Structures are given as structure tokens and as C-alpha cells.
Chain A
Amino acid sequence: MKVTDLVVAASIVALALLLSYAMFLGGIGPVPVRSELRTLALNYILLTYNPAKIIYSALAPEGVTAIVWDYRGLDTYFETAVMFLAIISVVALTHGCKVRIGLGKGGMSLIVKTTTRILMPLIVLAGVSITMHGWLTPGGGFQGGATIAVATVLALVTYSIDTLAKHGIRKKILLAMRSTGLIGIALTAVALLIIGLAVGVNAYIFQNQERIGSPLAFPAYFSGTPTGGSLLFYNLFEAFAVSAGLSLAIIVTSLREEEVKETLRGEGVE
């Protein structure tokens, strides 16, 4: 590290500190008063879990999940679709490439492998726990799914792509899981609408509890514990989709040169 580096870093830090001080003094724009809770935030806090006003409520104690999947469900659906599209394009780039077993050296030392074998179930368990409590405590489908995907990363680095392929973690299966998750989310979104059409009652897409003009609702309690109605299904399917999607992205990026080159050359000849 050179002296110039230090000087530049120090000056950037000084600029950031000066800017934040100016902002604190109100020099850049008005600063909202801290004790004041804005009306929008107050509404969400009062209505997220409110059995007295079910018509506006998601009946889930966790406000963020309620906003993400109930009040602003359509936004999240398209976000998930965008991520699906990104992963589809990564897969399309390496279309036709297959894992050839026996190319690598077979991973790291026995110590690392054993440690990973102990750690991996714990990581997966933490991910499942984050998912399954998504409507009660902070967390949810994306968080849990990303945590589960970390286990795949660990397995890929310490064992090898061969071992994953041998244990059935292949591109096709992961892509099928990812698609199942997305279809599950879409079906949950229109489930009440389909029931409403069949029974002949009004219903909306992304409906969770009873809404104005629609008496249909997902079951809000399971043996006395709040389930957040549709939030349970959204979280489960999202965890499914995200864990499979991120694992797929990791596996596709770790394909070795020999495997990719062969396919690309073959396509050029045709």
C-alpha cells in the first residue's frame, strides 16, 4: 500500500464525514424529526396483525413479510420473476454443457471435508428455520433460500462439482425445483381467485385475508399459531425457488473449461 493510497482514502473518509455533518445540521435538506412516526409506517404497524380489523390486516406479526408478500405482493412477484430470468439466461449461455466426472482432483483435504459435513446440515437447518418463521420473526423465503444456497457453495468448494453431480444435485433437477417454486408462488397468488370463480364470490389476486367485497381467506391460524395465511405458502415456495436458483447459478459458473469448450465447438460445426 502506497502513501498516495492512504491519502486518497483519508480524503474520501473526510468528505463522507463532512457531508454527513452537513446533513445532520440540515444543510442539504430538512431532516425528519426522529420521534415522529410517519402515517404510512404507523398504518402498517397498527394493521399488520390486527384481528379487530381483518379487512385491512395480513394477520401476521412480522410487518416486513406482510408488506413484501401481502400488501406489495405483485412487486415481489415480478422481482422473483426478474431473478428467474437472470438465472435462465445464465443457464442458456451454457446450454448443453454437462458435468464430466473425473476431471478435477476431488476437492480439499479430509479435515475440511469432515468439518463441512458437520456444518452443512446446520446451515440448511438455519435456512429452513428462517423460512418457517418468516411470518413470525425477521426472515422469510428469500433469506432462508439464500442461506440454504450457502450450503451448496460450501459443498461445491470443499468437495467438487463431481460429488454434487453424483449426489443428484444437477442442473435439470435444480431448474425443475426453481420452476416449481415460481409456479407455486403464481398459484398461491391466484388460488383465492380460482376458488372465488368456482363458488361465484368476488376475489382478488394476491388476496390473503377477507377484503372489502370478498369473504374468502387463507386459514390464518394453525393450532393456535398465526400462519399469516398465504404468507406461509409464499415463503415456502420462495425459499424453494431461491435456494435452487442460486445453487444453479453457482454450479453453472463453476463448470470447467473442458466441459464448456466442447459444447461450444460442437455447436460451431453444426
Chain B
Amino acid sequence: MIDLIAALLMAVAAVTSIVFTYLAVVEKNLIQAVVFSAVQSTMYALIYFLLMAPDIVLVYLPVGVGIYPAIILLLIKKTDKVDE
């Protein structure tokens, strides 16, 4: 039963990550695109957690949600906020 719940959660997280990846690619507003990308990272972290890989989760959370969006946002600040 727990296996089934975990598998279902993983499927939901995987599908959500696909949607957010697509949104991050097509979004013209770069700041929103970074947020979509961070949501996708969170979904991946959830999948790793459910796959019983806590070591990867502990890397993925600070890097995927903290440092990577921060660096990208700092770089966007130096250029245009909207992709023409």
C-alpha cells in the first residue's frame, strides 16, 4: 500500500515537473521562468526523496532551490527582464 502511494506521488511529481519545465522554457518573463524552474527542482527533490535517495535530496534542495535561482536572478538583474 505504501509502495503504491509513493509510486502515485512520484508520478504526480514527475508530471508536474514536466509541466513546469515546459512553462520555464516558453515563459517570456525571465524572473517567472526562474521560479518555474525552481518548482521543477522541488518536484525532482520530492522524487529523489521517495526513491529513498536522501543524499541527493540534501544536495538538490540547497542547490536547486537556493543557489541556482539566486545566481540566475542576479544575472537577469544585469540584463533584460523580458526575453524578446
Contacts and interface: CB of A to CB of B under 8 A. Distances in A.
Bin the interface of chain B by size. Answer: 20 to 34
A257 B78 contact: yes
A140 interface: yes
A142 B78 CA distance: 29
A269 B20 CA distance: 47
A184 to B, nearest CB: 21
A91 interface: no
Nearest to B52: A138
B8 interface: no
A246 B67 contact: yes
Main secondary structure of the interface of A (DSSP, over half): helix
Interface stretch (A8-16, A111-119, A186-194, A204-212): A8-16
A3 B59 CA distance: 36
A17 interface: yes
B45 to A, nearest CB: 12
Bin the interface of chain A by size. Answer: 20 to 34
Contacts of B58: 130, 138-139, 143, 147
A250 B63 contact: no
Contacts of B67: 146, 149-150, 153, 246, 250
A253 B19 contact: no
Nearest to B14: A16
Contacts of B51: none
A263 interface: no
A260 to B, nearest CB: 9
A81 interface: no
Given A138-B55, A138-B58, A253-B74, A150 B18 contact: no
B6 interface: no
Contacts of A147: 58, 62
Interface in A29-85: 64-65
A249 interface: yes
Interface in B7-42: 14-15, 18-19, 22-23, 26
Contacts of B55: 64-65, 138-140, 143
A5 interface: yes
B18 A254 contact: no
Interface in B63-80: 63, 66-67, 70-71, 74-75, 78
A16 B22 CA distance: 13
A157 interface: yes
B73 to A, nearest CB: 9
Contact of A13 (B19, B62, B71, B75): B19
Contact of A8 (B14, B22, B78): B22
Interface of A: 5, 8-9, 12-13, 16-17, 64-65, 130, 138-140, 142-143, 146-147, 149-150, 153, 156-157, 246, 249-250, 253-254, 257
Given A5-B23, A13-B15, A146-B59, 12 more contacts: A9-B18, A9-B22, A12-B22, A16-B14, A64-B55, A65-B55, A138-B57, A139-B54, A143-B58, A146-B62, A149-B62, A250-B70
